[in-house]
A and B are shown apart, each in its own frame.
Chain A
Amino acid sequence: MTPLRIAVFGLGNVLLGDDAVGPFIVELLRAGYELPANVSVADLGTPGLGLPAYLSEADAVVLVDAVAARGEPGEVRLYRRADLHRVPPKPRVSPHDPAVQEALALVEFAGGGPRDLLLVGIIPEHATLGAGLSERVRGACQPAIEAVLRELTRLGAPATPRAVAQAPNIWWAGQ
């Protein structure tokens, strides 16, 4: 049997405070863990309607992103496909508007898209230019990574901690 193509995608703008949490977690994951060959990891930034192409190239997708939800900053929320479908899409004005929900609905209507989907959402405190991650969101990184690791295990592709952890490549932080 061909192994599942599993993709972990960090979403968010690295220049905008807590919006960077998705890409940040992707870098922590890369630096700290050995991943099976069928697991790819990428920082996709804010791809808007570029996202369907990435969704259509994987059997299982784990998205890590800042989410606007009622709750305390730093809370980690998990969403499955059905949760995302419950949010109605909105009229599009700019290419960023088609959010994850719409990208997913689009690939599904076209007959593709991942069979498995998990969104690991982190409630941000601020999305302010150049501010870096807030303390509360930084504190959410470990539980968020654990949620990603559990999903990889569930999918039959467990990650293992590196014997010698590398320094994560958080190139956008600091001067």
Chain B
Amino acid sequence: MARITIDPVTRIEGHLRIDAVVDGGQVQKAWASCTMWRGIETILRGRDPREAWFFTQRFCGVCTTVHAIASVRAVEDALGLEVPLNAQYIRNLILIAHALHDHIVHFYHLSALDWVDVTTIPQADPTKTAAVGESLSDWPGNSDKQMKAVQAKVNGLLESGQLGIFANGYWGHPAMKLSPEVNLLALSHYLQALEFQRKANQIVGILGGKTPHIQNVAVGGVMNAINLNSLATLNMDRLYMMKDLFDEVIPFVQQVYFPDACAIAGFYPEWFEIGKGVQNYLAVPDLPTDIASTAFDLPGGTIFDGKLAGVRRISGQRDEYFRKGVVEDVTHAYYKGRGPQPPWQGETIPDFTDFQDDGKYSWVKAPRFGGKPMQVGPLSSILVGYALEHELTRKWTDLALTRVSAIAKRPITVDQMQSTMGRYLARAIRAAVLSELAVRHWGLLVSNVQKGDATVFNPPSFPKDAVEGVGFHEAPRGTLSHWVVAKDGVIANYQAVVPTTWNASPRDEQGTPGPYEAALLKNPVANPEKPLELLRTVHSFDPCMACACHTLDVEGRTIATVKVL
């Protein structure tokens, strides 16, 4: 029996820590913990609600825009303030571009090397690799020449003995199963992906004024002046500059990322049997298409116990089912508390102890919906969309499952997506769905502007009495909600319930584990010294601690420790 602790200390304080007890080649018990105080909300008390978004976008350096937009939505909800159509579309385009960027980065740069063994690439036949590429997609970037160039680069690196970017992989691990050709193809796309994640980010910059911290959001709309004839504003040139970038990013999503995710899923079908975990799913509707934010292009809802037929729709931010459903439990978190609290009444009073297996062990609170732990993320969004018969979700999910089944030579069903591999596949499906919606929302914005509507902003006014609002966003990592209480024009309370809080939540009052902890049970671990399989399941959730204390470590420290019990 061994206990594995994965605790990356790339920053001075605070991070996701995973503990797992492994026996008989499988995880028997697991804990997910955040080692840093996540009380950033306290900084917002007493501030002007109109400027909260400027601070919230600094919660996390990776997901800046999502916290900006969730924040203004929360304040707008508290005020009952409508949002002009142009502002809805502009925000939606920012959110879509950001999500495409984020999903591409996750698949290629954060998780592909869990499945792709770079050290086999010298054995690949570049011509055969190009043929595999052509069999999977029409993408023009899979030529023989491209594969030879990438192979030469890898050979050079391996011969130098300085693995650089690849120095931390679990190479030669028995769980690595792809042929050298598929590994080479994937690595070629890993390099090309750098270019497309950059282009997706440029779209955010065109609309947001700047990246990584956008400047154009406001409570009541956006601050992009629209004048089709002025150079200084959002004009036709800029709209088409954005369209050109989408026209490059979208084929990469549909012809490279999506087929790659299907191929990897098809070559590793056993991972559809691993990592199921918590089978309650939560997703919120997003991409509003009306000024009152009641109609959406992406549906939201809940599924319990893995039963898609029992899906219940969440109609919008005003839906009491959502507003009353969310509570946070601090039984096993380093906070003082008096039982589960709704976020508007939420407190953040630190109560630090050591890591106690059966007591408090995390800085993450345990959010619950109707008393249950919920899984959030692309898988939730895809399962809810599928169950609600959302057309685009059905189209891309069915296409993905057909492709995966053909490669795996066995049928893979939508129910089997409740697994580690399902989470990877769902993210690619979601990217494909969003890539189609990008075109639609660009068209909606342009035609609305051409009709002569240049309105981007409705000014807010604040009552003396306390008002409560919730703003949500189906972010790349899942359901994000900001909860604000404003009184007399200042913030009285503010809580952000972020996706990783749902997924990395510790046990609750009843001792029920959170989604990471549950998904790791029975996860295979062939060699505790090289816990690759464990990382696959953790990475499938796309963890992000939304606290981003990131002080750079220039001296190097160890991160994974194994203790024989």
Encode B11-49 as 1/0 by CB contact (under 8 A) with A.
111011010000000000000000001011011001100
Does B295 sit at the interface, judged by CB under 8 A?
no
Does B110 sit at the interface, judged by CB under 8 A?
yes
From known contacts A68-B553, A69-B555, A83-B554, infer whether A91 and B535 are also in contact, taking CB-CB under 8 Å.
yes
Does B58 sit at the interface, judged by CB under 8 A?
yes
Does A136 sit at the interface, judged by CB under 8 A?
no
Chain A contacts of B12 at CB under 8 A? 66, 68, 124, 127
User: Quick check: B58 and A45 within 8 Å, CB to CB?
Assistant: yes
Does B346 sit at the interface, judged by CB under 8 A?
no
B interface size (C-beta, 8 A): 64
> In the docked arrangement, what's the CA distance between A48 and B168, Å?
17
User: Quick check: A124 and B198 within 8 Å, CB to CB?
Assistant: no
> In the docked arrangement, what's the CA distance between A62 and B12, Å?
22
Number of A-B contacts (CB under 8 A): 188
User: Quick check: B550 and A68 within 8 Å, CB to CB?
Assistant: no
> In the docked arrangement, what's the CA distance between A107 and B156, Å?
16
Indicate which residue in A19, A43, A79, A111 contacts B554 across the interface (CB closer than 8 Å): A79
Indicate which residue in B46, B64, B110, B153 contacts A49 across the interface (CB closer than 8 Å): B110
Does B234 sit at the interface, judged by CB under 8 A?
no
Does A46 sit at the interface, judged by CB under 8 A?
yes
User: Quick check: A93 and B8 within 8 Å, CB to CB?
Assistant: yes
A interface size (C-beta, 8 A): 62
> In the docked arrangement, what's the CA distance between A74 and B62, Å?
27
User: Quick check: A19 and B157 within 8 Å, CB to CB?
Assistant: no
Q: Which of A8-16, A140-148, A154-162 contacts B (4 or more CB under 8 A)?
A: A8-16
> In the docked arrangement, what's the CA distance between A164 and B153, Å?
51
User: Quick check: A53 and B550 within 8 Å, CB to CB?
Assistant: no
User: Quick check: A15 and B543 within 8 Å, CB to CB?
Assistant: no
Residue of A nearest to B113 (CB): A92
Encode B546-565 as 1/0 by CB contact (under 8 A) with A.
00111111111001100000
Give B331 Cβ to nearest chain A Cβ, in Å: 23
Chain A contacts of B191 at CB under 8 A? 109-110
Chain B contacts of A42 at CB under 8 A? 210
Q: Which of A5-43 contact B (CB under 8 A)?
A: 11-16, 19, 42-43
Indicate which residue in A12, A15, A53 contacts B201 across the interface (CB closer than 8 Å): A53
Give B53 Cβ to nearest chain A Cβ, in Å: 13
Chain B contacts of A124 at CB under 8 A? 12, 551
Encode A95-135 as 1/0 by CB contact (under 8 A) with B.
11111101001111111000000010100100101100000
Does A50 sit at the interface, judged by CB under 8 A?
yes
> In the docked arrangement, what's the CA distance between A135 and B267, Å?
56
Chain A contacts of B551 at CB under 8 A? 12, 19, 65-68, 124, 127
Chain B contacts of A107 at CB under 8 A? 194
Give B553 Cβ to nearest chain A Cβ, in Å: 4
User: Quick check: A96 and B548 within 8 Å, CB to CB?
Assistant: yes
From known contacts A19-B550, A121-B554, infer whether A90 and B194 are also in contact, taking CB-CB under 8 Å.
no
Chain B contacts of A13 at CB under 8 A? 58, 61, 548-550
From known contacts A15-B55, A93-B535, infer whether A50 and B194 are also in contact, taking CB-CB under 8 Å.
no
Give A137 Cβ to nearest chain B Cβ, in Å: 11
Give the interface centre of B46, B542, B552 by most chain A CB atoms within 10 Å.
B552
Give the interface centre of A19, A85, A87, A93 by most chain B CB atoms within 10 Å.
A93
User: Quick check: A11 and B167 within 8 Å, CB to CB?
Assistant: no
User: Quick check: B58 and A99 within 8 Å, CB to CB?
Assistant: no
Does A2 sit at the interface, judged by CB under 8 A?
no
Chain A contacts of B211 at CB under 8 A? 50
Known: A66-B12, A108-B164. 9 other contacts (CB 8 A): A42-B210, A45-B212, A53-B197, A85-B162, A93-B543, A96-B550, A99-B553, A105-B165, A109-B191
Between A and B, 20 residue pairs with Cβ closer than 8 Å are: A11-B552, A12-B551, A15-B40, A15-B59, A19-B549, A47-B61, A66-B12, A66-B551, A68-B11, A85-B162, A89-B168, A91-B559, A91-B560, A92-B8, A93-B539, A95-B62, A98-B110, A119-B554, A121-B554, A127-B13
B interface residues, Cβ below 8 angstroms from A:
6, 8, 10-13, 15-16, 18, 37, 39-40, 42-43, 46-47, 54-55, 58-62, 64, 101-102, 105-106, 109-110, 153, 157, 162, 164-165, 167-168, 191, 194, 197-198, 201, 210-213, 535, 538-539, 542-545, 548-556, 559-560
